[in-house]
């Protein structure tokens, strides 16, 4: 801060000096004093004009000023600290954003790599599958056309939700050819892969998938001479009544096949469509589950449409569908247990499925259960049948969690009942020919006359080829016959 000094000499020789701070107001004040006071001979020795009156320090003001200064310093310090902190945070944020970006890029690269590896693996698998001989017998459409006489109605033995079925002969073997409807046949390579998988899943109580014509969605199955359990229970085509011993045995066979399906690795195979129409009987009345994995061969939309179609349009068939599946759309192995329960009730009553659980339950309560049993059989062991019915009702419980476990409860109980039935089985029946029954097949079988009917039926092994089945059967047969 500079100083302005004005001087004036008075007649008496005295010097008056005005010192002011270099600020405008003070300058004016000094000028006024020099111009106005001195000429009037005012004595002014030293006029030291400061910028403010407060510039004349008092202890209080001094303290206030120090205090203010301190506050100002503090505020400035706080501001500086906050600014520094903000800078630090900003730097941190930028660093973490950069890190996130980098790891996202790495993840994207990894995903891309994985996708490439997967598609390469898929390509290799398809390549291997299409170049290696298929694990199932591949038929050309010409062979299928010839075998079915160009899909002649005279050879048609039925039609279900997925398409018509023809009775025929291929490779000198009686077969049933199912021709999937065009909307059901999905991509050729996927169909091929699914058939590959299904043809590996073999069990004595599952209808054997012999081959396929993947280009036209045709499936070739072993021919089951005694048709479906439905036909047998309702005695279509002049069939005699199934004896109770065979019914108990069939029930245990179905549960054995089903447990095998549910134990498939890596995922259990849920049948989705268990009903007496999908249990087929061979010429020795050995029962096998049919249409295994069919839902996998068609696009999910088609499988759902078939299920919906059954629920809405075919009277009665919706009765086999798990109520919890109907409510939630969630399918599980316990859905099959529900269907099994309804089917078991039909096996002993030969009644339609509608309201069957209710009727059987009521009859047990009223003590009139014996009247529910199929009257075509005259020698029912009522106590055992009642035990059978209670087990079936448990399977058909409305809630999944109330249904018994197939492997731990249902199968062991049905096996006991089968043992009881076999202990009471006439010799003729042991050889698979129930009285009053005529197999519907016109074919002369050229292969071994020993069938799995004579086997102890507790095999749940994965059989790798039909030849293997025959070998097992022969061994068991020779052990059983006295």
Ligand X SMILES: Nc1ncnc2c1ncn2[C@@H]1O[C@H](COP(=O)(O)OP(=O)(O)OP(=O)(O)O)[C@@H](O)[C@H]1O
Task: Give the whole-angstrom CA distance, residue 284 versus residue 432.
Answer: 4
Among 222, 231, 282, 291, binds Mg ion (CB under 5 A): 291
Closest by Cα among 6, 19, 17, 21 to 52: 21
CB–CB of 248/348 below 8 Å? no
- In the complex, the smallest distance separating the C-beta of residue 339 from ligand X, rounded to whole angstroms, is 11
Based on the shown chain and the rule CB under 6 A, indicate whether residue 226 belongs to the binding site for ligand X.
Answer: no
Within 10 angstroms of residue 429's Cβ, the number of other Cβ atoms is 20
- Site size for ligand X (CB under 6 A): 21
Which whole-number Å values give the CA distances from 96 to 99, 102, 107, 139, in the listed order?
Answer: 5, 10, 16, 62
Provide, rounded to whole angstroms, the least separation between the CB of residue 390 and ligand X: 28
Residue 375 CA to residue 117 CA, distance in Å, equals: 63
18 to each of 15, 23, 36, 57, 476, how far by Cα in Å?
10, 14, 13, 20, 137
Of residues 211, 214, 217, 227, which one binds ligand X by CB under 6 A? 227
Annotated catalytic residue, options 171, 183, 273, 379: 273
Beta carbon of residue 172, minimum distance to ligand X (angstroms, whole number): 17
* Cα(192)–Cα(184) distance, integer angstroms: 14
CB of 281 to Mg ion, least distance (A): 13
Of residues 112 through 171, those in contact with ligand X by CB under 6 A are 157-162, 165
**Least distance in angstroms from the C-beta of 460 to ligand X:** 21
Distance of closest approach, residue 160 Cβ to Mg ion, in angstroms:
5
Residue 160 makes contact with Mg ion by CB under 5 A: yes
Mark residues 264-283: x for contact with ligand X by CB under 6 A, - for none: ---------x---xx-x---
Q: What are the residues whose beta carbons fall under 8 Å from the beta carbon of 405, sequence distance 6 or more? A: none
**Dist CA 238 CA 44 (whole Å):** 149
The entry of ligand X, Mg ion, none that residue 223 binds, CB within 5 to 8 Å by partner kind: ligand X
Residue 176 interacts with which of ligand X, Mg ion, none, CB < 5 to 8 Å by class: ligand X
CB of 159 to Mg ion, least distance (A): 10
140: part of which helix (H) or strand (E)? none
Using alpha carbons, select from 476, 148, 435, 181 the residue that is nearest to residue 305.
Answer: 181
Q: Does 466 interact with ligand X (rule: CB under 6 A)?
A: no
Task: Choose the contact partner of 280 out of ligand X, Mg ion, none; CB within 5 to 8 A by kind.
Answer: ligand X
Q: What token pair was written down for 194? A: 């699914």
Q: 254 is in the binding site of which of Mg ion, ligand X, none (Cβ under 5 to 8 A by kind)? A: none
Which tokens is 207 given? 């209808």
Q: Does 207 bind ligand X (CB under 6 A)?
A: yes
How many CA within 13 A on the CB side of residue 268? Answer: 16
Helices marked H in 355-410 — which ranges? Answer: 356-366, 382-395
Beta bridge partners of 104: none
Measured CA to CA, the distance from residue 270 to residue 371 in angstroms comes to 34
248 binds, among Mg ion, ligand X, none (CB under 5 to 8 A by kind): none
Within 168-197, the residues that bind ligand X by CB under 6 A are 176, 178
Q: How far is the CB of 157 from ligand X (least distance, A)?
A: 5
Annotation marks residue 322 as catalytic? no
Q: Which of residues 415-444 bind ligand X (CB under 6 A)?
A: none
Smaller CB separation from Mg ion, 278 or 284: 278
Q: Which does 369 bind (CB under 5 to 8 A by kind): ligand X, Mg ion, none?
A: none
How many residues are present in the chain? 482
Q: Name 20's bridge partners.
A: 4, 49
Q: Is 397 in the site for Mg ion (CB under 5 A)?
A: no
> Using CB under 6 A, which residues numbered 284 to 343 contact ligand X?
290-291
Structure tokens at 448: 């071994």
Angle at alpha carbon of residue 118, lines to 114 and 122, rounded to 5°: 170
From the list 89-97, 111-119, 221-229, 324-332, the region that binds ligand X by CB under 6 A is 221-229
Type and span of the H or E element at 8: strand 3-9
Of 278 and 307, which has the nearer Cβ to Mg ion? Answer: 278
Binding partner selected for residue 437 from ligand X, Mg ion, none, CB under the kind-specific 5 to 8 Å limit? none
Chain contacts with ligand X (rule: CB under 6 A): 157-162, 165, 176, 178, 207, 221, 223-224, 227-228, 273, 277-278, 280, 290-291
Catalytic residue list: 273
Chain contacts with Mg ion (rule: CB under 5 A): 160, 278, 291
């Amino acid at each position: 801060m500079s100083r302005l000094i004005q001087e004036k000499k008075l007649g008496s020789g005295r010097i008056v000096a005005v010192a002011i701070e270099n600020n405008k107001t003070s300058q004016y004040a000094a000028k006024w004093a020099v111009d106005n006071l001195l000429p009037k001979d005012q004595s002014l020795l030293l006029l030291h004009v400061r910028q403010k009156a407060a510039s004349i320090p008092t202890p209080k003001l001094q303290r206030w000023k120090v205090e203010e200064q301190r506050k100002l310093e503090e505020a400035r310090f706080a501001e500086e600290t906050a600014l520094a902190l903000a800078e630090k945070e900003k730097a941190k944020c930028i660093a973490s954003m950069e890190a996130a970006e980098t790891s996202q890029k790495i993840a994207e690269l990894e995903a891309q790599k994985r996708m490439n590896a997967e598609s390469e693996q898929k390509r290799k698998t398809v390549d291997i599958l299409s170049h290696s001989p298929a694990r199932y017998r591949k038929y050309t459409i010409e062979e299928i056309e010839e075998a079915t006489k160009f899909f002649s109605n005279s050879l048609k033995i039925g039609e279900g939700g997925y398409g018509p079925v023809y009775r025929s002969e291929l490779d000198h073997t009686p077969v049933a050819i199912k021709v999937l409807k065009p909307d059901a046949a999905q991509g050729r390579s996927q169909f091929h892969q699914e058939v590959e998988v299904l043809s590996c899943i073999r069990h004595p109580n599952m209808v054997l998938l012999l081959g396929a014509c993947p280009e036209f969605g045709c499936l070739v199955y072993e021919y089951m001479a005694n048709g479906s359990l439905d036909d047998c229970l309702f005695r279509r085509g002049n069939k005699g009544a199934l004896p109770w011993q065979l019914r108990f045995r069939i029930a245990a066979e179905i549960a054995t096949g089903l447990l095998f399906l549910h134990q498939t690795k890596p995922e259990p195979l849920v049948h989705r469509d268990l009903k007496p129409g999908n249990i087929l009987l061979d010429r020795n009345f050995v029962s096998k589950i049919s249409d295994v994995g069919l839902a996998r061969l068609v696009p999910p939309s088609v499988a759902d449409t078939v299920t919906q179609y059954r629920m809405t349009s075919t009277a009665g068939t919706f009765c086999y569908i798990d109520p919890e599946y109907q409510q939630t759309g969630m399918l599980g192995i316990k859905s099959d247990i529900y269907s099994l329960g309804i089917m078991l009730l039909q096996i002993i009553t030969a009644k339609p499925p509608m309201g069957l659980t209710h009727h059987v339950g009521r009859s047990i309560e009223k003590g009139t259960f014996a009247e529910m049993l199929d009257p075509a059989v005259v020698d029912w062991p009522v106590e055992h049948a009642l035990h059978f019915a209670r087990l079936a009702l448990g399977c058909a419980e409305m809630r999944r969690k109330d249904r018994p476990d197939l492997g731990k409860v249902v199968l062991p109980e049905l096996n006991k009942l089968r043992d009881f039935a076999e202990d009471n089985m006439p010799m003729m029946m042991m050889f698979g020919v129930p009285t009053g029954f005529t197999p519907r097949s016109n074919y002369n079988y050229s292969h071994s006359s020993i069938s799995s009917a004579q086997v102890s039926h507790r095999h749940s092994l994965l059989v790798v080829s039909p030849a293997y089945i025959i070998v097992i059967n022969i061994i068991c047969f020779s052990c059983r016959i006295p």
